[in-house]
Structure 1
C-alpha cells in the first residue's frame, strides 16, 4: 500500500458523509480534528495512508505501517501465493501479513534477508536503482575464484539479450570458493549470470544486508520479526 499524501481538508470531505469544505474549515477552527494525536488546524496539512486521524475522538483512520524482516530459507518462493511452492507469506506469523508486499525478491534456491512492508514509498526507496541502495550477498561457488573476478565485476558486464551493462559491483574474496558481492541493482538472476561468464556455477546465494539493514543473526531460517524504528528509518 502506498503512503500517497493528501490534503487534510480533502481527506475529511471525502471520508465524512455530507461534510463540505466550509464545514471542514469550521471543524478545524474548533480544534475537533487531531492528526497523530495533535490538534490540526491547517486545511492544507498533508496526511497520508498511515496518518492517525480522529474527529471528536472518533477514529477516522488508523492504518499502521509494518516493516518486517524474514530469514528466507531455500525452497520457499518470494511471492504472496504460488500453486506449487510454499511462499514467504506462509512463513509469517503476523496479523496483517496479507497486506504486505515483498521488497526485493530472492529466487527459490536463494536464502537470507527478505524485507516485507505495506509502505510503498519505503519499499520504492530501497528498490529503485536510482537510489543505489547496496545489497550484500555471500556466494558459494563450485570452482575456485581468482582475482580476475574482482575486476570483471567492478567493470560491469554486458548482457546482449537485454542490451544492458550491469553497474559496477564489488566482489571480495572470502576463500577460494566463497565471496561477498555487493550490488546496487538487482537484475534477473544477476549474480548467477555474472558468475556464469566464468562458467562457475553458484552453489549457494545468501543475502545478508540491504542498505543499513542487516539480517539478524538470531533469526533462524524461516523466522521473522518486525524491524525496529532505527532499522526502518532510512
Structure 2
C-alpha cells in the first residue's frame, strides 16, 4: 500500500476541474491553504493527509489512522475472507474499510498486529531494506537445545526459494519456549526453521515490531489507536 503523494497544482486542477493557469491565479490570490498555511507554490508536495482548503471550504481533510490489535488465533490477517473472520471484522470503527494490514500473522498465530491507512508508514515497517526487528514467543512440542541457537544465528538455506535467511536471535526461555527475533518475514519462516529440527510449533505469538510492544492491557481481539509517541517512534 503506497502513500498517495503528488503536487498541489495537479490536485487542484482535478479536484476543482480547472486548468493549470487558473490554479496559478488561485494561488496568487492566496485562496488556498495547506495544513493551515497559505499555499503559494504550484509544485508544493502534498499527500492524502494534507488538510487543503479553498476559500475556507474544505477540499481534503483525511486523518491518518494507526491501530494496534492483539490478534487472536483463528482470525485471518485479511480485509476480506469468505471462510474465516478477519481482523477487519474485529474492528468497531467507521473507517475500518480504509485500513490495511502492516505485516500479516497467519491463521493460527496471535499477537501484535498493526493496521493503518498510511502507506508510507506501513512501508517503512515492512520493507526488507529497513530491517525492522520483530519478536515472537514460540511454544514447541519438543525440548530446545544450544544447537537451535547456533542454527538460527547462522541462517538457514531454503532450496525451494533458493534463499538463506538472515541471522536470527533465538533465546531459550524454558525447555519448550523460545523467543525469536527476526529482521525479515518470509512465508511461515519461523515454523519452517523449527521444522528443520522436526519440532512442531504449537503456539506463535508476536510480541513486538521495532520499538512498538503489544499493549498487555489488550485482550485477544481488542485494539486501540497508537499514541503520538508510538507513532513517532515507528516512523521512518
Same fold (TM over 0.5): yes
SS at match of 1:174: strand
Whether the aligned pair in 2 keeps the contact of 1:103 and 1:114 (CA below 8 Å) is: yes
Give 2:12's aligned residue: 12
What corresponds to 1:224 in structure 2? 223
**Does the CA contact (< 8 Å) of 1:50 and 1:63 recur in 2?**
yes
Output the aligned Cα RMSD: 1.1
Measured in 2, the distance between the counterparts of 1:23 and 1:83 equals: 49
Whether 1:37 and 2:17 are equivalent positions in the alignment is no
- What runs of 5+ residues in structure 1 fail to find an aligned partner? none
Separation in 2 of the partners of 1:25 and 1:162? 53
Provide the residue aligned with 1:182 in structure 2.
181
Superposition pairs for residues 94-109 of structure 1, below 5 Å? 94-109=93-108
Q: Show the 5 A alignment for 1:53-132.
A: 53-132=52-131
Q: What is the distance in 2 between the residues matched to 1:35 and 1:6?
A: 13
Structure 1, residues 26-85: CA drift from partner, whole Å, max 9, x if none? 221222111111111111210011111000011111111111111000111111111111
| Count of paired positions | 233
Residues 58/2 of structure 1: CA separation in 2 closer, same or farther (3 Å cut): farther
How far, CA to CA, are the matches of 1:15 and 1:59 in structure 2?
11
Alignment correspondent of 1:49: 48
Which residue pairs with 1:210 in the alignment?
209
Q: Distance in 1 between matches of 2:129 and 2:93?
A: 31
Q: Is the 8 A contact 1:156 1:166 kept in 2?
A: yes
* TM-score of the aligned structures, taking structure 2 as reference length: 0.96
Asked if the contact 2:2–2:123 (Cα under 8 Å) also holds between the matched residues in 1, the reply is no
Whether the aligned pair in 1 keeps the contact of 2:32 and 2:52 (CA below 8 Å) is yes
